[in-house]
Amino acid sequence: MSAKQAFNPYLPSWEYIPDGEPYVFGDRVYVYGSHDFFNGYVFCMGDYVCWSAPVDDLGNWRYEGVIYPRNADPLNKEGKMCLYAPDVTVGPDGRYYLYYVLDKISIVSVAVSDTPAGRYEFYGYVHYPDGTRLGEREGDEPQFDPGVLTEGDRTYLYTGFCGRGDKSRTGARAVTLDKDMLTVITDPVLIVPGSEYSAGTGYEGHAFFEASSIRKVKGRYYFIYSSEVMHELCYAVSDEPLRGFKYGGVLVSNTDLHISSYKPAELPMAMGANNHGSIEQINGEWYIFYHRHTNGTWYSRQGCAEKLTLNEDGSFEQAMITSCGLNGGPLEGRREYPAYIACNLFTEKHSLYLGEPGAPKITQDGRDGDEEPGYIAGMCEGCTAGFKFFDCKGVHRVSVTTRGYAFGGSFEVRTKWDGEVLAVINIDSTNVWETFSAEAAIPDGVNAIYLTYRGGGTAMLKSFTLE
Ligand code: FUB
């Protein structure tokens, strides 16, 4: 268990770091990701920042500051382009190399630092021995979302982006870089096919879309990627870094699709959109880092993580999305919890993707950077927020803190999304946060908590308390 309770999202609710690449360096885990803004109008409006936590206290994250500003790249002096999903590897010289692609240029940039949390300095562009940049030689595919792994003097670089219907892009491709971390020494090869080339390969339905990431698990290469349906992170496995990858399965879906332990497998429990992340072993346990979407848009994403089960045969089970991922177990059953840790959020339609008009959303007050606590807005008739899991003992009362024009409103309390109503908490319309409660006989043991709004208007939900 984490010394301090850990939640999803694992960073403060006012921070928006998607595309997280977790790495343990020394006794801390560092997360490198893109940097979205609250109320951002496109992806990745910020500079790269970094957060880290002690490997034995995954609820205790430290802000490492800006590690690389977007105008540090010579091609982006005016800062007009956005820094898309990065990855980091330790080179043969022991230095830390940051790989990224700017949103409007399909080549790979590299920055370097002596320490994991920077600052990183621009270093160069990945290029062929003749100086042509990877992505600009005839036959190259556009570079996107670099994932890197260094072994000895060699670094394997995986990139790609494949939309459905685009036959010009074959899939995720990989090259080998020399010990200078820039020079391509083996030509691009196809690793995992995109949807136009997946027929008969074993990847059908889970073809490569974006988000290349690479890890080694027990001596084998695991390629992690976002599939053609976007909301899921999948993996493929090989004994070699540049060929032989076979489809492994889904690691996580930010809608919880395919999970059947508490609902029908194909019923979405959150409104999904793109996904990006990777696996890392932290203190002996494997975790999958991924992101969720807030504020009803694609552009304010937040990092989440779940514990993974690694089977003897090297396969991973798909992780369920929870509110307590890095905690290593259920949360304390008696406490007030912020509503922004909801892992399930759906209307009666259970939409698979973001965009349902009038759907609830996790949001915050203020502007990007304001350290305002998150909450759920837009809870209207039949909307449900779900929280998993809590170790309950003797819970006899549940409270909710709400505000907004909630006419004749109430929250039903359940421990299963489709289970019996255990309490009804009546609430009033109010301009300020007010707390309302009801007696509730929550069974002892590990429970989920589901809160369903009934009534007119919409309520905002700041927190709930189990007592
Ligand atoms: O964050 C910007 C882009 O969105 C990333 O490069 C993709 O992987 C997707 O997550």
395 and 364 fall within a common domain: yes
Rounded Cα gap, residues 64 and 79, in angstroms: 22
What six digits make up the tokens of 129? 């021995």
User: Alpha helices, DSSP H only, in 283-383?
Assistant: none
218 and 335 fall within a common domain: no
Strand pairing report for 384-392 and 331-332? parallel
pLDDT tens profile 51-110: 999 999 999 999 999 999 999 999 999 999 999 999 999 999 999 999 999 999 999 999
Question: Which protein residues are within 6 Å of ligand 1, measured from CB?
Answer: 18-19, 34, 43-44, 84-85, 145, 210-211, 274, 276
Say which residues have a Cβ less than 8 Å from residue 151's Cβ, sequence separation at least 6. Answer: 241
Is the residue at 426 inside a domain? yes
DSSP for 380-420, written as a single string: -TT-EEEEEEEEESS--EEEEEEEE--TT-EEEEESSTTS-
Rounded Cα gap, residues 226 and 208, in angstroms: 6
Residue nearest to atom 2 of ligand 1 (CA): 84
What value does the mean pLDDT take over residues 124-153?
A: 98
Nearest atom in ligand 1 to the alpha carbon of residue 226 is: 8
Residue 3, pLDDT > 80, answer no
248 and 353 fall within a common domain: no
* Three-class DSSP category at 141: coil
What six digits make up the tokens of 109? 């940039």
pTM above 0.85, yes or no: yes
67 CA distance to ligand 1 centroid (A)? Answer: 19
Rounded Cα gap, residues 157 and 140, in angstroms: 14
Rounded Cα gap, residues 436 and 426, in angstroms: 7
299 CA distance to ligand 1 centroid (A)? Answer: 10
What value does the mean pLDDT take over residues 181-199?
A: 98
284 and 356 fall within a common domain: no
Does 19 participate in catalysis according to the annotation? yes
Strand pairing report for 246-253 and 147-151? unpaired
CA 385 to chain centre: 19
466 CA distance to ligand 1 centroid (A)? Answer: 37
The best mutation among 35, 84, 212 to test binding of ligand 1, ranked by most ligand atoms within 8 Å of the C-beta, falls on 84
CA 34 to chain centre: 11
108 and 237 fall within a common domain: yes
Nearest atom in ligand 1 to the alpha carbon of residue 34 is: 1
263 and 383 fall within a common domain: no
208 and 350 fall within a common domain: no
- Residue 312 belongs to domain with CATH number: 2.115.10.20
User: Alpha helices, DSSP H only, in 274-350?
Assistant: none
Selection from 133, 113, 36 nearest residue 72 by Cα: 113
Is the residue at 12 inside a domain? no
- Residue 350 belongs to domain with CATH number: 2.60.120.260
Structure letter (DSSP) for residue 457: S
Is the residue at 225 inside a domain? yes
The amino acid sitting at 132 is T
Is the residue at 275 inside a domain? yes
Residue nearest to atom 5 of ligand 1 (CA): 85
The residue among 304, 327, 350 that closes a domain is 327
Predicted confidence at residue 315, as pLDDT, reads: 98
Residue 2's pLDDT band (cuts 50, 70, 90): low
Residue nearest to atom 8 of ligand 1 (CA): 211
Is the residue at 14 inside a domain? no
The residue among 327, 345, 378 that closes a domain is 327
pLDDT tens profile 358-415: 999 999 999 999 999 999 999 999 999 999 999 999 999 999 999 999 999 999 999 9
34 CA distance to ligand 1 centroid (A)? Answer: 8
321 and 340 fall within a common domain: no
Total of domains in the chain: 2
Rounded Cα gap, residues 299 and 35, in angstroms: 10
Q: Which domain holds residue 453?
A: 331-466
62 and 172 fall within a common domain: yes
Is the residue at 222 inside a domain? yes
69 and 172 fall within a common domain: yes
Nearest atom in ligand 1 to the alpha carbon of residue 36 is: 1
What value does the mean pLDDT take over residues 196-207?
A: 97
Residue 1, pLDDT > 80, answer no
Percent of residues, the chain, with pLDDT higher than 90 = 99
Is the residue at 16 inside a domain? no
With residue 87 as reference, give the H or E element that holds it: strand 87-90
376 and 289 fall within a common domain: no
Which residue in 15, 36, 64, 210 is the catalytic one?
210
276 CA distance to ligand 1 centroid (A)? Answer: 7
Residue showing tokens 């991922």:
325
321 and 356 fall within a common domain: no
DSSP for 226-251, written as a single string: EETTSSEEEEEEESSSSS--EEEEEE
Selection from 278, 242, 243, 246 nearest residue 156 by Cα: 242
The residue among 327, 347, 374 that closes a domain is 327
Return the exposure string of 236-272: e unless at least 16 CB atoms fall within 10 Å of the residue's CB, then b: bbbeebbeebebbebbbbbbbbebeebbeeebbbbbb
The best mutation among 48, 274, 292 to test binding of ligand 1, ranked by most ligand atoms within 8 Å of the C-beta, falls on 274
Selection from 292, 244, 300, 418 nearest residue 41 by Cα: 300
pLDDT tens profile 414-464: 999 999 999 999 999 999 999 999 999 999 999 999 999 999 999 999 999
Is the residue at 254 inside a domain? yes
Predicted confidence at residue 4, as pLDDT, reads: 87
What value does the mean pLDDT take over residues 211-227?
A: 98
Residue 342, pLDDT > 80, answer yes
With residue 185 as reference, give the H or E element that holds it: strand 184-193
> Which parts of 254-360 are beta strand (E)?
278-282, 285-293, 301-308, 331-332, 335-338, 344-346
Q: How far is CA 314 from CA 1, 219, 301, 305, 308, in A?
A: 25, 10, 30, 20, 12
Nearest atom in ligand 1 to the alpha carbon of residue 144 is: 6
419 CA distance to ligand 1 centroid (A)? Answer: 37
Residue 317's pLDDT band (cuts 50, 70, 90): very high
